Structure 1
Amino acid sequence: MALTSTMYSLRIELAHVDRGVYESLDFRMAMHPSESPEYFVARLLAYCLEYAEGIGFSRGVSDPDDPTISVRDLTGTITTWIEIGLPDAARLHKASKAAPRVAVYTHRDPTVWLRQIAGERIHKVDQIAGHVFDRELIDELVARLDRRMTLDVSVTDGTLFINHNGTTITGQVTPMSLVPA
C-alpha cells in the first residue's frame, strides 16, 4: 500500500520588513512521504520569504518538471521559479530559461554542491538568487512541527524571527552566490 501525504494546516502572520510585505496567511501544505521534515520546513520558510500575489506550490512528485514553488502572473506565466535544497545544474539551467527570476533556498551545506555545479552550463547563473538557512533554525522548527500550526514570521535585515506558542526562534537566511569565486 502506498503512503499518503501528511497535510498541515498553517496560519502565519507574515511581516517581511525587508520587502514591505505584511500578510495574514491561512493555507494547507502537504508533506510527501519521501520529503524530509527539514526540506518541508525549508519549503515553508521559502514560501514566506518569497510571498507575493500568485505564489503557489507545485503539485509535488506527480509533476517533477514544475518548480517547487512558483509565482505566476495573471496569465499563468511563471515570473519567479523557486527551488529548495540543492537542485542539479540542468534544473537550474531550465529554470533560468523559463522564468525571469530564479531563487534557490537550501537547508544543507552547499559547499560541495557549489563545486559540482561550478563547471556546468547554467543560463544566467549570475542572476540566480541563492539563500542558505541557519541549520539551527531549521532543526528548531522541525522539533516544533505540528499538523496545525500558528506562526508569527518576521524578517528584518535577513534575520528571521519566528514566534510559535510564545517562544521566539531566531535565525539567518544568508545570501549565497552560485558564481564561482
Structure 2
Amino acid sequence: MAIGSTIHQFTVQLSDVDRGVYDELALRVARHPSETAPYMLTRVLAYCLEYEEGIGFSEGVAATDEPAVMIRDLTGALVAWVEVGAPDAARLHTGSMKAERVAIYTHRDPDKVAAPWAGKRIHRAEEVLLHSFEPGFVEKLADAIERRNTATLTRTEGRIYLELNGVAGESDIHTRSAG
C-alpha cells in the first residue's frame, strides 16, 4: 500500500449468474491519492466480475510490473492478468506473455482506449478482451463511494445490476478483442 492511500472497505453480495458464481466478498481496497473514484470502482468491478480462487489486487497505480488485478493458481503461476483503465500496448503485450488470459476493464470510451493499440505488438491480441460499460454508469455509482461500502452485484445475460450504498445502476458489459 502506498503512503497516503485511503482504505475503502466493500462488502459485496455477488451473484454472477452467467458464470455460476455466488459469494459474499469482503474487500479492502487501497485508493492512491492520484486514483479517481471511477477508476477505483472499475477495479472493484473487475475483481468481482473475474472473481475466482486465487484472485487478488496488486499495489494498484503504484505497481509498475503487475496488473491491477491478477489471478494465480495453487502453484503461484499467473493465470490471468487484468488491467483497468487505459493500459498501453506494451503492458498488454507483457501481460499476454506472462499469463494465460488477459482482460481490460474500462469506464472510458472503449474506442479511445483501443485506438493507441493499433499497429502495436500485443502477443495474442485477438485473445485479449476489452470490457466496457455504458457511458456514465461507473461515474454515477462512483459518487456513492464511502469509506465503508455495501454493494449487491448481479450479472445475468451480459448485463450487470449494481446497488452501491443505496444507489442503483445497470449496464450491459460490452466486450471486444484488442486485436
Q: Give the shorter-chain TM-score range.
A: over 0.9
Structure-1-length-normalised TM-score: 0.92
1:84 and 1:57 mapped to 2: Cα distance?
11
Runs of 5+ unmatched residues, structure 2: none
Runs of 5+ unmatched residues, structure 1: none
1:116 and 1:165 mapped to 2: Cα distance?
36
2:23 and 2:36 mapped to 1: Cα distance?
27
Q: Deviations over 1:6-35 (max 9, x none)?
A: 111110000000000001111211110011
- Counterpart position of 1:5: 5
Distance of aligned partners of 1:62 and 1:27 in 2 relative to their CA distance in 1, 3 Å threshold: same
2:99 counterpart of 1:94? no
* Counterpart residue type for residue 37 of structure 1: A
* Counterpart residue type for residue 9 of structure 1: Q
Query: What is the CA distance between 1:115 and its match in structure 2?
Result: 2.6
Q: Hey, which bits of structure 1, 4+ residues long, moved more than 6 A?
A: none
- Counterpart position of 1:135: 135
- 2:90 partner SS: helix
Give yes or no for contact 1:136–1:171 (8 Å, CA) kept in 2: no
Structure-2-length-normalised TM-score: 0.93
- 1:135 partner SS: coil
* Counterpart residue type for residue 101 of structure 1: R
Give yes or no for contact 2:61–2:68 (8 Å, CA) kept in 1: no
2:51 counterpart of 1:58? no
1:71 and 1:110 mapped to 2: Cα distance?
24
- 2:173 partner SS: strand
Mean alpha-carbon deviation: is it higher for 23-32 or for 162-171?
A: 162-171
1:74 and 1:23 mapped to 2: Cα distance?
20
Query: What is the CA distance between 1:178 and its match in structure 2?
Result: 1.4
- Counterpart position of 1:126: 126
* Counterpart residue type for residue 125 of structure 1: A
- Counterpart position of 2:152: 152
Query: What is the root-mean-square deviation of aligned Cα atoms in Å?
Result: 1.6
2:169 and 2:112 mapped to 1: Cα distance?
28
* Counterpart residue type for residue 174 of structure 2: T
